[in-house]
Structure 1
Amino acid sequence: MSGDHDDLDAEVRRLLGEGDDLLEEDRSEGALARYHAAWERLPEPRTDHPVALDILAADGNSHFFRSDYAAARDALMTAMTFGGAVDNPYLRLRLGQCLFEAGDEREAANWLAGAYLLEGSKLFVDEDPKYLEFIRSQLQPPPGGWPEGW
């Protein structure tokens, strides 16, 4: 049985890696196909498998880059049911961005502010500045004002 499990894990991780490679090449449709294939190979309940979080995060990220914010939000909200996922600043960032783009500013502020508090502004360096500006508009400045570079 262990061999079957190892084979399944290797197959799922191979598909996940192929999806990541395709996403790097801006081939999000192919990436999504690989992520979905990896997800389908996981036995039920799928969310019991450690690699499921990686698949959901990659799927959400891929949908985000396709501007399919509802699908990205759904994948990332499922990812947030995993232990420790809410402490992942990158997942919080991406979920907050999806909510922002979908017009749910209240929830977006919760997730984006959490991402900022966990990781700081460096998490936002490669992101559209509107997200960091939005967070700033939602928070009270600290005593003495916002730090340099905020």
Structure 2
Amino acid sequence: MNSPSLQMDDAVYERLNRLCQAGNELTREGRFDAAVTQFNDAWELVPEPKKDWEASTWILTAVGDCYFHLGDFKSARSVLEYAVRCPGGLGNPFIHLRLGQVMLESGEADRAADELMRAYMGAGKDIFAEDDPKYLAFLGTRAQL
């Protein structure tokens, strides 16, 4: 967790935020490789220890989302598992959704069911609405929804 004395330099935060906004725009355009570059540049600006900053949570989540869309499930898993350890990461329905989807795509059905259930419990079935219905259908084979 961020301690009250842990504050990012305003100029660094503004630059980081601009890079993330550019990454978000590229993501909306479906340009996931280019978005990853922007988010990685933002990640480089996060002070050490990186896991202590809320900015790390949203940057890593965005990178993991891009890797998921690119079909790079190994990279997505690594980034999302780190995001879970950052402030607000554990229990974040979107992180658990993407992690569950990555696990399912990687053939880890039990872990996928656990992560997808965390997403479902945190945000309901609506969190699945924009993705392939197979993920919610899979969860329905493992739990009474």
Normalised by the length of structure 1, the TM-score is 0.87
1:113 Cα deviation after fit: 1.0
Counterpart of 1:133 in structure 2: which amino acid? A
Q: Determine the structure 2 residue equivalent to 1:46.
A: 50
Between the aligned partners of 1:118 and 1:138, the Cα distance in structure 2 is 17
1:82 Cα deviation after fit: 2.0
- When the two chains are superposed, the root-mean-square deviation of aligned CA atoms in Å is 1.3
Q: Deviations over 1:112-135 (max 9, x none)?
A: 011112211111111111101110
Between the aligned partners of 1:48 and 1:85, the Cα distance in structure 2 is 11
Query: Radius of gyration: which is bigger?
Result: 1
Q: Please list every run of 5 or more consecutive structure 2 residues that lacks an aligned counterpart in the other structure.
A: 1-7
Between the aligned partners of 1:105 and 1:96, the Cα distance in structure 2 is 9
Q: Determine the structure 2 residue equivalent to 1:61.
A: 65
Q: Please list every run of 5 or more consecutive structure 1 residues that lacks an aligned counterpart in the other structure.
A: none
Counterpart of 2:142 in structure 1: which amino acid? Q
Greater relative contact order (CA < 8 Å, ≥ 6 in sequence): 2
1:86 Cα deviation after fit: 1.9
User: What is the percentage of aligned positions where both structures have the same residue?
Assistant: 35
1:92 is the counterpart of 2:80: no
Between the aligned partners of 2:39 and 2:62, the Cα distance in structure 1 is 7
Between the aligned partners of 1:48 and 1:81, the Cα distance in structure 2 is 9
Find the partner of 2:81 among 63, 67, 77. Answer: 77
SS in 2 for 1:78: helix
Between the aligned partners of 2:100 and 2:25, the Cα distance in structure 1 is 25
Counterpart of 2:139 in structure 1: which amino acid? I
Find the partner of 2:40 among 33, 36, 40. Answer: 36
Structure 1 range deviating more: 79-88 or 107-116: 79-88
How many residues in Structure 1 have an aligned counterpart in Structure 2?
138
Find the partner of 1:26 among 27, 30, 33. Answer: 30
Between the aligned partners of 1:31 and 1:19, the Cα distance in structure 2 is 4
Between the aligned partners of 1:114 and 1:44, the Cα distance in structure 2 is 29
Between the aligned partners of 1:88 and 1:9, the Cα distance in structure 2 is 22
1:70 Cα deviation after fit: 0.8
Q: Determine the structure 2 residue equivalent to 1:129.
A: 133
Between the aligned partners of 2:53 and 2:128, the Cα distance in structure 1 is 30
Between the aligned partners of 1:117 and 1:99, the Cα distance in structure 2 is 18
1:83 Cα deviation after fit: 3.6
Between the aligned partners of 2:138 and 2:26, the Cα distance in structure 1 is 31
* Deviation beyond 2 Å, 4+ runs, structure 1: none
